[in-house]
Amino acid sequence: MNTLFDKIWDRHVVQQVEDGPTQLYIDRLYCHEVTSPQAFDGMRSRGLKCYRPEKIYCMPDHNTPTHDQDKPIEDPVSKKQVDTLAKNAAEFGLTHYGMFSKDNGIIHVVGPEKGLSLPGMTIVCGDSHTSTHGAMGAVAFGIGTSEVEMVMASQCILQQKPKSMRISINGKLGKGVTAKDVALYLMAQLTTSGATGYFVEYAGEVVSALSMEGRLTLCNLSIEMGARGGFIAPDETTFAYLKGREFAPKGEDWEKAVAYWKTLKSNDDAVFDKELVFDAEDIEPRITYGTNPGMGIGITSPIPSSPLGRSGEVQALEYMGFRPGQKLLGTKVDYVFLGACTNGRIEDFRAFASIVKGRKKAGDVVAWLVPGSWAVDRQIREEGLDKILEEAGFEIRQPGCSACLAMNDDKIPAGKLSVSTSNRNFEGRQGPGARTILASPLTAAAAAVTGVITDPRELL
């Protein structure tokens, strides 16, 4: 009862159902176009209205093209899904940030940057990467479409309370090692199911030192270890990030809010169901080699020989065209993708630009640079990063989920090798037959300018 997770969860308990789940109050529901239409249909067929429409924010992101957003979407099926969200939001009286509006972007990028996701909140969305918002010190988790409908209908959800886990990373990250590398390291240590059934609190010197962008990346990837969510206790970094944002409290309300937020931490004697401690010194820039995010290595290490054959390893290497014991440094790369709710924020573009500055894009690499939101795009231009990127031969596309899951036109062709800052390297995730290597923006930039897998530390 003394972890931060307990404090936030318990405060939101409406009732404990006998021999069943908890009825939990939800402060914020985000809806995108893919996982909401059937929930709205359900509401209509039951004759229900949204119980607290002011707590629900909608925006399309998965299907949006990353070019010519001022024109209608060419793919009629994508267009219909995006239009359906706009129509549903209007019918149910919900805020909607349409495609090409200045407020649009990937839902998990827009929520924090607008101050819609705040410390102490419970936040849900029909999307597993809702864990991202945990970086603000919130309990945030992905849900299915039936559950989206539950929240629309009642502002509540029925859930079993997960167990609690604390992951502490101590020490100081080395040069060229980012929050993405920390997350990829944790996934390899825990596997993709190691944190299933748990909510993770990230702590330790490394986490305290991370920027908000880094924290959002780390929490984003909690689901890839199986965790329902991950979060970080709010601190001065959080408050400084939130101050002045559109929906953050203002004036006297701000002072009151900060005073409350400062109480949001686990007690010194808090007991977690599981506690893990890692050392920053063991983490180098990371890449994946297989077909789930847990199949990862340090960039200078060989693919494990795995004499015992971890399940799925053989099929994964066959799909990727790699062999046990192989080193991937120097492997030719076809595509580079910078973006997604994992790494589509301003700091990610700064990191990418820091490597490509004064260099040129490798001739035969196709690079897609996709800001996470129009706000990120504006900041890229304000900081002059666009000039650096363009001089190096890169073009900035328009915001959306893009090649992370290839629901728009940004599909990696079959057989091509992509170095991607996104979150999943599942078979066919970036397009049927596409082969994905997950990496940080620095490692993606190093691949983009050299045309091969390259240790970014050599270019810093």
Partner 1 sequence: MKQKFDIITSTCVPLPLENVDTDQIIPARFLKATTREESFFGDNLFRDWRYNSDGTVNKDFVLNDPRYSGCILVAGKNFGSGSSREHAAWAIAGYGFRVVISSFFADIHKNNELNNFVLPVQVSEDYLTELFESIKENPKTEVEVDLPNQTVTNKASGRSEHFDINGYKKHCLMNGLDDIDFLVQNQDKTEQWEQLNK
Nearer to partner 1, 128 or 217 (CB): 128
Pick between residue 77 and residue 277 the one whose CB is nearest to partner 1: 77
Work out how close the CB of 218 gets to partner 1 at its nearest, in angstroms, rounded to a whole number.
18
CA distances from 415 to 107, 290, 427 (A): 30, 14, 11
Residue 246 to residue 235: CA distance in whole angstroms: 20
Residue given tokens 């839902």 in the structure block: 107
Q: How far is the CB of 279 from partner 1 (least distance, A)?
A: 27
Among 180, 51, 59, which residue's Cα sits nearest to residue 111? 59
Taking the complex as a whole, the smallest distance from the CB of residue 388 to partner 1 amounts, in Å, to: 32
83: DSSP letter = H
- Taking the complex as a whole, the smallest distance from the CB of residue 225 to partner 1 amounts, in Å, to 10
What are the structure tokens assigned to 445, written together? 């930039």
Query: Which amino acid would we find at residue 378?
Result: R
Match 């973006």 to its residue by tokens: 339
User: Is the Cβ–Cβ distance between 121 and 115 less than 8 Å?
Assistant: no
Please report how close the Cβ of residue 142 comes to partner 1 at its closest, in angstroms.
Answer: 4
Closer to partner 1 by Cβ: residue 333 or 403: 403
- Smallest gap from Cβ 284 to partner 1, in A, equals 25
| Residue nearer to partner 1 on the CB measure, 15 or 70 | 15
Q: Report, in Å, the least distance between residue 228 CB and partner 1.
A: 5
Answer whether 325's CB lies under 8 Å from 302's CB.
yes
Which is nearer to partner 1, 162 or 456 (by Cβ)? 162
d(CA 77, CA 85): 13
Q: Give the residue with the Cβ less far from partner 1, 84 or 208.
A: 84
Cα–Cα distance measured from residue 351 to residue 444, given in angstroms and rounded to the nearest whole number: 10
CB nearer partner 1, residue 146 or residue 300:
146
Shortest CB 443 distance to partner 1, Å = 22
Q: Are 170 and 209 in contact (CB under 8 A)?
A: no
The DSSP call for residue 322 is: -
Rounded Cα distance between 157 and 170, Å, is 36
Q: How far is residue 128 CA from its own chain's centroid?
A: 9
Closest CA to 135 of 109, 97, 160, 162: 109
Assess contact for 189 and 202: CB atoms under 8 A: no
- Contact footprint for partner 1 (CB under 8 A): 11, 14-15, 17-21, 23, 25, 34-35, 37-38, 41-42, 46, 48, 51, 62-63, 77-78, 80-81, 84, 126-128, 130, 142-147, 149-150, 153-156, 158-160, 162, 192-193, 196-197, 223, 226, 228, 292, 311-312, 315, 405-407, 414, 424, 426-429, 432-433
In the complex with partner 1, which residue's Cβ is closer, 36 or 443? 36
Nearer to partner 1, 38 or 300 (CB): 38
Three-class secondary structure assignment of 97-110: CCCCCCCCECHHHH
* Biggest CA-to-CA distance, the chain: 64
What's the DSSP call for residue 272?
-
At 220, phi and psi to the nearest 5? -50, -40
CB of 35 to partner 1, least distance (A): 7
**Nearest 5°: CA angle at 230, between 224 and 233?**
155
- What is the CA angle 136-230-151, rounded to 5? 75
Paired tokens of 182: 């920390």
Measured from the CB of residue 19, what is the shortest distance to partner 1 in angstroms?
3
**What is the nearest approach in angstroms of partner 1 to the Cβ of residue 145?**
4
The CA-based dihedral angle spanning residues 237, 177, 231, 170, taken in that order and rounded to the nearest 10 degrees = -90
- d(CA 83, CA 99) in angstroms, rounded, equals 10
Nearer to partner 1, 161 or 327 (CB): 161
| Choice between 128 and 420, CB closer to partner 1 | 128
Instruction: Tell me whether residue 11 or residue 378 sits nearer to partner 1 (CB atom).
Output: 11
CA separation for the pair 261, 256 (Å, rounded): 9
Cβ 363 to partner 1 shortest distance, Å: 28
